[in-house]
Amino acid sequence: MTTPDPDGVREMQESSNGDRAISGAADGAHAESPAFRNTRDVIRVRRALVSVSDKAGLIELAAALAAAGVEIVSTGSTAKRIAEAGHPVVEVSSVTGFPESLDGRVKTLHPSIHAGILADLRLETHEAELVALDIAAFELVVVNLYPFAETVASGAERDAVIEQIDIGGPAMVRSAAKNHANVAIVVDPKNYPSVIKSLAVGGTTLLQRERFAAEAFAHTAAYDTAVAEYFAANLGVRAERPRRDEARLDLSFGNARPLRYGENSHQHATLYTGDLLGLASAQQLGGKEMSYNNYVDADAAVRAAFDHALPAVAIIKHANPCGIAIGSTIAAAHSAAHACDPVSAYGGVIATNGTIDRAAAESIAPIFTEVVVAPEFTPEALEVLTAKKNLRVLKLPLGYRREAQELRQVSGGMLVQTPDTHFADFEEWQLVAGAPADADTRADLEFAWRAVRAVKSNAILLARGGASVGIGMGQVNRVDSCRLAVSRAAGRERGAVAASDAFFPFADGLQILLDAGVRAVVQPGGSIRDDEVIAAATDAGVTMYFTGERHFFH
């Protein structure tokens, strides 16, 4: 089995020019515009703009870029550091034809730089205009900003602080983040391993670039907030900015669609839809009318399937997975997911992140299922699935994507958060016990760490061969979740790997997994009793990694 990639990087099927792969999905607001060509998923990095204040990891990144034949354009001390390390680098002044001036205040604020960042190469007119202007596009921008907050904290004089207000940096960051359809923007050295991995497999993916863009906008927002608060503090006033607790949340949804009832038959329910490309806008191709519970479970299933880059299937019952798997095909993934818990899968909801073909449909059809959701179905698959008159078949809207914010009503208010879509790279994990994972173990650990995100807390997921084999979910203590996962594995736990969505507060839960014979464990770490937990894994000779991030799902 191919090792799953936590970044969503997959091997690029090169186009005729060997540079860019074109996916079939249209992108957002431009999906209907004939001026736009199809959105590119994997984009090869040929030219990179690198200008960083934080030099951590710079030389390793520059070495990887140079080895991949990427042209590096850089500024000031960054360019000097790269050149001193023996890697080829082009000074920004050579690109702009204008020297860095005013003590470095003006370096990158030039059309030759920003046109190369902002050109939307899905548009033939933009591509032609770059050629006419003799400007080369950038596929990667690596920028982090002047250390403003650190300078303020050092007690520096006002003029020194003012000089640390970055102008060109935020402009480049925001330009690249806006144009993430074409450009990867990296603002944090922790993401360099992900970029280096992308170079090795053909380029950055659209999902990867979207995640980088989200981090980039958060980076500039935090930076501007620090500057605003500095000025406000000097003036003895409160910074006039839209704080999270002061911001206004306006929601507008139309197209009300009454449902038969809510969670129970005595509850009224309505589905409201807007212009978002989510499950609510899916096209129903067959089966009975969707219910409230169908939508809830289908949304959880889609979210779980789309956590993975390889062909994936999630089977959901009452908002919890009874099986998640990846495979070489959707049919193989479904078979593996169903094998996790065939009893619970009866009457469940199935979602995939890829096209359902005849083989996948024939794998699904014999099993009583409430809903099947996928981005696409082949005609042969629809023939098989629609023959089951009660099976609800939903096709996701073209360009399906998660919303930027998740909303949950509480009495008297609304909770808002960004979706949990970030998964720490394996290179960022910390080995705290046992031997380093071999390739197969690493693949299973990476899969399990993504799959456990979809399980209600406290969550424990056992996996082997790219498929869940036992899941413990929704318990009020982690010990019971561990017992449940082992029980549901029914003999398959020995030799499996385990993922925990949050740290083990004591060693007792982990000990259940160790006694059951798991070979490796991935968990966030961070308990005050981590030493006890690590000691238990060490005594058992079991590999254990800390990720430094958790994935609670309430």
Annotated catalytic residue 554: no
Strands 460-464 and 467-472: antiparallel
230: DSSP letter = H
Q: Is the separation of the CB atoms in 46 and 71 below 8 Å?
A: yes
Q: Which two tokens stand for residue 254?
A: 């139309």
- Choosing from 178, 268, 389, 395, the catalytic residue is 178
Amino acid at 396: L
The residue written with tokens 């449940």 in the block is: 484
Q: Which two tokens stand for residue 55?
A: 């030099």
Q: Is the separation of the CB atoms in 51 and 74 below 8 Å?
A: yes
DSSP 293-349: HHHHHHHHHHHHHTT-SSSEEEEEETTEEEEEEE-SSHHHHHHHHHHH-HHHHTTEE
Torsion of CA 155, 157, 158, 163, to 10 degrees: -100
Nearest 5°: CA angle at 84, between 83 and 85?
Answer: 90
d(CA 301, CA 294): 10
Beta strands in 388-504 (DSSP E): 392-395, 406-410, 413-417, 430-433, 460-464, 467-472, 497-500
Torsion of CA 413, 418, 419, 420, to 10 degrees: -120
Q: For residue 315, what are the β-bridge partners?
A: 323, 350
Torsion of CA 183, 188, 192, 193, to 10 degrees: -120
319: left (phi over 0), alpha (psi -120 to 50) or beta: left
CB atoms within 10 A of CB 208: 26
β-sheet with 184-186: strand ranges across: 90-91, 71-74, 47-52, 140-144, 184-186
Annotated catalytic residue 180: no
Q: Is the separation of the CB atoms in 370 and 294 below 8 Å?
A: yes
3-state per-residue secondary structure call for 40-103: EEEECCCEEEEEECCCCCHHHHHHHHHHCCCEEEECHHHHHHHHHCCCCCEEHHHHHCCCCECC
280: DSSP letter = G
Q: Evaluate the CA torsion angle 22, 23, 25, 29 in order and state its sign.
A: negative
Whether the upstream peptide bond of residue 458 has omega within 30° of 0, thus cis, is yes
- Choosing from 318, 338, 388, 456, the catalytic residue is 318
- The DSSP H or E segment spanning 254 is strand 254-259
CB atoms within 10 A of CB 338: 23
Residues forming the active site: 178, 318
